[in-house]
Amino acid sequence: MVSKVSPKVNPYEVEGKIDYDRIVKDFGIKKLTKSDLGRIKRLAGELHPYLRRGIFFANRDLNWCLDEYEKGNKFFLYTGCGPSGPIHLGHLGTWRFTKWLQDKFGVELWFQFTDDEKFLFKNKSYQEIQDWTYENMLDVIALGFDSKKTHFLVDTKHAGIMYPEAIKVAKKITFSTIKAAFGFKDSSNIGSIFYTSMQTVPVFLPNVLRNEKRPCLIPLGVDQDPHFRISRDVVEKLGHKKPAVLHSKFMPPITGLEGKMSSSFADHAILTTDTPKQVKKKINKYAFSGGQPTVEEHRKLGGNPDIDVSFQWLKYFEFDDNKLVQIEKDYRSGKLLSGELKLILIEKVNSFLAEHQKKREQAKKQIDKYLYKI
Ligand code: TRP
């Protein structure tokens, strides 16, 4: 694959080799420092592996949010899902981390399903998007969020409470701001131009509903940041606090380290509903390897875990640092072969999915507990 000279990263396009330092500069976000991590560890009692491993790597206003927390003003979490297709492993990282934050800080989560967004942006019918909304909810519930502290908002179903706030946001955003942020053209549909207003609403809706002034903390994939760059200016004008944000890198696609995982190519993403056999086949057949072409060369020269997708994915699934370090060492030295590394990953993913699929089945009876009651 030819590397694109200028990579694109925004909510609607993630292409090319991703330079996270450049994103930090271009987006005006801050890398998480050692002292930030130390503070999270002190408050949470431990550090999630995704923080130790730099998967969550940057932030906006995290320290303000934690200052408030320490003063007794707990934040609420806000994240979301655009329901346009099946959930794959790349979606789960942010949500698993969000669940950890909920547990460690004992806070509420507002989870937005943007069925309006996906209807407007994807070439799919309204009914198809509704079906994916249901399917995607099962995956979110399966991750074990506390139903007493988690509230699902579905844009078209909660429109009655969201729309009055969305128009207040929309009135403060110009078309030229939206064009500059997302590259829309005169030919873009007018719903897509309005949409950022809907994604902004949960930043402050809980405070409006309850007459509170809690900080909002948003864990997200860094491609979603442009929405909130706009939101942050606007919500302040409406008398609300700017949200804090924690940014995550993308789980690389199976074919190599460019772009992000997507279910647009069925064989290239591992879906939460895949069977153990499908997982095995996809990883064995497609996972880009940093190994040498022959066993002899591999033993002599060793593999390169830095570009090896199986190793990179293990960072998301093998939470034991000692084991991960040993695997890395053995792969680099040539002791561990590419096929053996893939096998370790396959087993890890399959045992995760076995559990996930069980809970996903049980989730079918639990949706009502999670939907926010108006
Ligand atoms: N737009 C996001 C998507 O396409 C969904 C989303 C809505 C979201 N609100 C969010 C993601 C807040 C992160 C944080 O997936």
Q: What is the C-alpha separation between 257 and 16, in angstroms, rounded? A: 9
Q: Residues 176-182: what's their mean pLDDT?
A: 94
- Alpha-carbon distance values, 154 to 79, 81, 107, 308, 336 (Å): 12, 10, 20, 38, 47
**For helices 225-237 and 175-182, angle between their N-to-C axes, nearest 10 degrees:** 160
pLDDT number for residue 266: 67
Q: How do residues 236-289 score in pLDDT, each as one tens digit? A: 999 999 999 999 999 999 998 777 777 766 677 999 999 999 999 999 999 999
Q: Phi, psi (5° rounding) for residue 309?
A: -65, -40
pLDDT number for residue 258: 78
Using pLDDT thresholds of 50, 70 and 90, give the confidence band for residue 366. Answer: very high
pLDDT at 216 over 50: yes
pLDDT number for residue 294: 96
pLDDT number for residue 3: 34
Query: Ligand 1 pocket: which of 84, 196, 227, 231 to mutate (most atoms <8 Å of CB)?
Result: 227
pLDDT number for residue 275: 98
Ligand 1 centroid to residue 234 C-alpha, Å = 18
Both structure tokens of 85: 């297709």
pLDDT number for residue 257: 74
For residue 129 and ligand 1, the question of a CB distance below 6 A is answered with: no
pLDDT number for residue 6: 47
pLDDT number for residue 252: 92
Close Cβ partners of 274 (under 8 Å, ≥ 6 residues apart): 282, 353
Q: How do residues 117-158 score in pLDDT, each as one tens digit? A: 999 999 999 999 999 999 999 999 999 999 999 999 999 999
pLDDT at 54 over 90: yes
pLDDT at 5 over 50: no
Ligand 1 centroid to residue 342 C-alpha, Å = 31
What number of other Cβ atoms are within 10 A of residue 6's Cβ? Answer: 8
Contact 210, 22 (CB under 8 A): no
For residue 114 and ligand 1, the question of a CB distance below 6 A is answered with: yes
Q: Residues 111-116: what's their mean pLDDT?
A: 98
pLDDT number for residue 118: 98
Q: Whose CA is nearest to atom 1 of ligand 1?
A: 82
pLDDT number for residue 298: 97
Ligand 1 centroid to residue 224 C-alpha, Å = 7
Query: Ligand 1 pocket: which of 56, 112, 156 to mutate (most atoms <8 Å of CB)?
Result: 112
For residue 206 and ligand 1, the question of a CB distance below 6 A is answered with: no
Residue with the larger pLDDT of the pair 298 and 256:
298
Q: Residues 173-201: what's their mean pLDDT?
A: 96
pLDDT at 4 over 80: no
Q: C-alpha angle with apex 224: 169 to 137, nearest 5 degrees?
A: 90
Ligand 1 centroid to residue 132 C-alpha, Å = 15
Share of the chain above pLDDT 70, in %: 97
pLDDT number for residue 7: 63
For residue 80 and ligand 1, the question of a CB distance below 6 A is answered with: yes
Ligand 1 centroid to residue 273 C-alpha, Å = 22
Q: How do residues 16-38 score in pLDDT, each as one tens digit? A: 889 999 999 999 999 999 999 99
Q: Whose CA is nearest to atom 12 of ligand 1?
A: 79
pLDDT number for residue 334: 98
Q: Whose CA is nearest to atom 9 of ligand 1?
A: 80
For residue 109 and ligand 1, the question of a CB distance below 6 A is answered with: no
Q: Against a cut of 0.75, is the pTM above it?
A: yes
